[in-house]
């Protein structure tokens, strides 16, 4: 592998006195789908937010596209073509679907807004039906689609998705995974995916990491990890 | 009937001034959830800015009123915005992330500071502006009672409507307005989408201060005298207006301002002028009993 697009080295993060990340190393190469799996409270979402500097890493370094972003303010990181669909989706509840998508396009200066909007409506036809509805009135699945679409509106090189399948009907979850795979294959979009639904995530991903208690305990090719006994135990029994 | 009309016109004028100030309270509350107690004093500073620029223009011999008014308006807005920005920068931003009451206390301190600063710099006496805009219109002289609409009142109401339309459009249509609403609804997500939250909050203070300075100019034109203490009462009234309309709601602030202005004026006209504030505040209390989030406010719902 050449220089990875995102390289995380020895990152620690704290909530008050509690260590949420205890020295994490993760690489995400250009054009890859990388997944991070682990139980509730393992620190997966914290890592996603730490990459965006909220909270900032206490030690270690985060390098994106050759640039150290460990101490970069959150909004500046968002301008580097990294987009995130965060934990809990965080749709703006009192903005319409269109306005939520416009917020996603803000970092591009609305340069390709019309075309991108059309593209999102092609990928997620449901959003078109709901275009003028308030974000807070959407169903969970629709909100998830909106969160991903909003992230894509910024034309990211690196798309970070935090539990895109959480709380969704299996069919819709499958649909969303299919969209991610498609974007990766056709456009070379790099994806960093956090999932509890380890089976689907590892099947989709090129490589995977397993996180337990704020540390990476295992890593390897997606399908290879899926075969491992520890992994099966870790995600079936919820880790230790 | 003519008497009623006259009071209506007076009430709308007063309500416009309250409404302009109330917008500053409501926008700041919307975006950072704090009551900016210094806002009334920013209004007072705005009226002094207007007075100073006006007197300077008169001394320079600018007597063509529409031009003079425009210059005063722009300069007063610019200078007072600078105050609004500075107040946020030095008194509130360092306390962001601190406990909830800290910026509130700091705001009260700022309020006292601004009052004293103006008192020291400008003196404690009332400052008059010579009546620069005179004349008006008269209607319904048939049965003896004349309804007067002064040019000042026309200017106040028209400017207020224009500014409110403009600011509503900014908030609802422009990227800046969207960023403001995004910060209001989910500050962290706004940052994840590349919104500079600190800058957006600063601009909100700037917008509030600009509107307050226009209110200050209107007050100066309407009453002709100002002093360093006018910010307190006007601030409390405008705050009441914002709460009455539903704090956090832009149309609510305008409606609340209008209502407080009307209630005060009608009460003074038909009952006793001494109790006009009691009337305004009683209406507020009654409305809040039945609509705790104000007339147009949205009820606090638990986030999911």
Q: At residue A85, what are phi and psi to the nearest 5 degrees?
A: -105, 100
Q: What is the pLDDT of residue A225?
A: 86
pLDDT in tens, A140-187: 889 999 999 999 999 999 999 999 988 788 888 888 899 999 999 999
Residue B80: pLDDT above 60? yes
**Residues B191 and A74: beta-carbon distance below 8 Å:** yes
pLDDT recorded at residue A234: 65
Which alpha helices (H) appear in chain A, and where do they start and end?
44-51, 74-78, 97-105, 113-123, 125-129, 140-152, 170-187, 198-204, 222-227, 229-236
Torsions phi, psi of A86, nearest 5? Answer: -80, 175
What DSSP character marks residue A96?
B
Q: What angle do CA A6, A193, A185 make, to 5 degrees?
A: 85
Lowest-confidence region among A78-87, B185-194, B288-297: B288-297
Q: What is the mean pLDDT of residues B162-170?
A: 93
Provide, as residue numbers in chain B, all residues whose Cβ is less than 8 Å from the Cβ of A74. Answer: 188, 191-192
Phi, psi angle pair for B132, to nearest 5°:
-90, -25
What is residue A168's predicted lDDT score, i.e. its pLDDT? 82
Averaged pLDDT, B3-28: 93
Residues B8-19: tens digit of each pLDDT? 999 999 999 999
Average of per-residue pLDDT values in chain B? 90
Average pLDDT over residues B284-290: 88
Asked whether the predicted pLDDT for residue B301 surpasses 80, the reply is no
The region of weakest confidence among A89-93, B94-98, B193-197 is B94-98
Q: Mutate one of A15, A92, A150 to test the B interface: name it (highest B CB count within 10 A).
A: A92
Q: How confident is the model at residue B279 (pLDDT cuts 50, 70, 90)?
A: confident
Our CA-based measurement puts residue A225 at a distance from the nearest CA of chain B, in whole angstroms, of: 31
Q: In this structure, which topology does domain A32-51+73-236 adopt according to CATH?
A: Rossmann fold (3.40.50)
Average pLDDT over residues B101-120: 94
| Weakest-pLDDT range from A163-177, B89-103, B210-224, B236-250 | A163-177
Q: Which runs of consecutive H residues, i.e. helices, occur in chain B?
A: 2-32, 39-60, 65-87, 102-122, 151-173, 175-185, 187-192, 197-223, 230-245, 250-270, 276-290
The domain segmentation of chain A, as residue ranges, is: 32-51+73-236
Is the pTM value of this prediction over 0.95?
A: no
Confidence at residue A3, expressed as pLDDT on a 0 to 100 scale: 79
Q: Is ipTM beyond 0.85?
A: yes
Task: Collect all residues from A whose CB is shorter than 8 A from any CB in B.
Answer: 52, 54, 73-75, 78-79, 84, 86, 90, 92-95, 99, 102-104, 106-107, 110, 150, 154
User: Among B2, B39, B45, which Cα is nearest to B21's?
Assistant: B39
Q: Are B71 and B200 in contact (CB under 8 A)?
A: no
Q: CA torsion angle for B78, B83, B85, B89 (degrees, to 10)?
A: 160
What is the average pLDDT across B19-33?
A: 92
Residue in chain A nearest B173 by alpha carbon: A99
Residue among A75, A84, A92 whose CB faces B197 most closely: A75
A107 → chain B, closest CA residue: B194
Per run of 10 residues, the mean pLDDT along chain A (length 240 residues) is: 85 91 94 91 92 92 94 94 93 95 94 93 93 92 93 95 87 88 93 88 91 91 84 59
Question: With an 8 Å Cβ cutoff, are A103 and B182 in contact?
Answer: yes
Report pLDDT for B226: 94
**Ramachandran assignment for B139, one of left (phi > 0), alpha (psi -120 to 50 degrees), beta (any other):** beta
């Amino acid at each position: 592998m050449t220089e990875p697009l995102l390289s995380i080295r020895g990152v620690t993060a704290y909530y008050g006195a509690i260590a949420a990340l205890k020295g994490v190393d993760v690489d995400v190469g250009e054009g890859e789908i990388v997944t991070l799996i682990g139980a509730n409270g393992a620190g997966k979402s914290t890592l996603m937010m730490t990459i965006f500097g909220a909270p900032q890493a206490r030690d270690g370094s985060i390098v994106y596209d050759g640039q150290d972003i460990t101490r970069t303010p959150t909004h500046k990181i968002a301008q580097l073509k990294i987009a995130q669909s965060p934990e809990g989706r965080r749709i703006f509840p009192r903005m319409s679907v269109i306005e939520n998508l416009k917020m996603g396009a803000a970092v591009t200066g609305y340069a390709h807004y019309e075309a991108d909007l059309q593209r999102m409506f092609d990928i997620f036809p449901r959003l078109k039906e709901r275009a003028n509805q308030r974000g807070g009135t959407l169903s969970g699945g629709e909100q998830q689609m909106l969160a991903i679409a909003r992230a894509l509106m910024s034309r990211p090189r690196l798309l970070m998705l935090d539990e895109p399948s959480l709380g969704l009907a299996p069919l819709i979850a499958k649909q969303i995974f299919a969209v991610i795979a498609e974007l990766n294959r056709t456009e070379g979009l790099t994806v960093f995916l956090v999932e509890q639904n380890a089976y689907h995530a590892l099947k989709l991903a090129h490589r995977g990491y397993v996180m337990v208690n704020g540390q990476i305990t295992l890593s390897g090719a997606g399908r290879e990890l899926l075969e491992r006994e520890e992994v099966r135990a870790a995600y079936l029994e919820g880790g230790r | 009937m003519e008497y009623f009309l006259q009071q209506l016109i007076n009430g709308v004028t007063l309500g416009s001034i309250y409404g302009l100030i109330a917008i500053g309270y409501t926008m700041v509350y919307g975006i950072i959830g704090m009551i900016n107690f210094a806002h009334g004093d920013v209004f007072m500073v705005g009226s002094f800015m207007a007075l100073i620029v006006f007197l300077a223009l008169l001394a320079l011999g600018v007597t063509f009123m529409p031009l003079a008014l425009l210059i005063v308006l722009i300069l007063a807005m610019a200078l007072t915005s600078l105050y609004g920005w500075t107040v946020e920068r030095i008194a509130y931003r360092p306390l962001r992330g601190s406990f909830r009451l800290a910026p509130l206390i700091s705001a009260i301190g700022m309020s006292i500071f601004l009052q004293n600063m103006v008192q020291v710099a400008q003196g404690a006496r009332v400052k008059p502006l010579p009546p620069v805009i005179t004349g008006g219109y008269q209607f319904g002289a048939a049965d003896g009672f004349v309804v007067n609409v002064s040019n000042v009142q026309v200017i106040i109401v028209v400017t207020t409507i224009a500014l409110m339309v403009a600011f509503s459009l900014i908030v609802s249509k422009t990227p800046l307005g969207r960023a403001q609403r995004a910060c209001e609804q989910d500050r962290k997500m706004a940052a994840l989408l590349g919104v500079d939250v600190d800058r957006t909050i600063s601009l909100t203070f700037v917008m509030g201060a600009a509107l307050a300075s226009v209110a200050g100019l209107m007050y100066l034109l309407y009453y002709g005298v100002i002093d360093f203490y006018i910010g307190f009462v006007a601030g409390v009234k405008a705050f009441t207006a914002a709460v009455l309309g539903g704090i956090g709601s832009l149309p609510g602030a305008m409606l609340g301002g209008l209502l407080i202005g009307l209630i005060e004026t009608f009460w003074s006209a038909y009952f006793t002028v001494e109790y006009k504030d009691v009337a305004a505040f009683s209406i507020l209390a009654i409305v809040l009993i039945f609509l705790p989030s104000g007339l147009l406010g949205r009820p606090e719902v638990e986030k999911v």
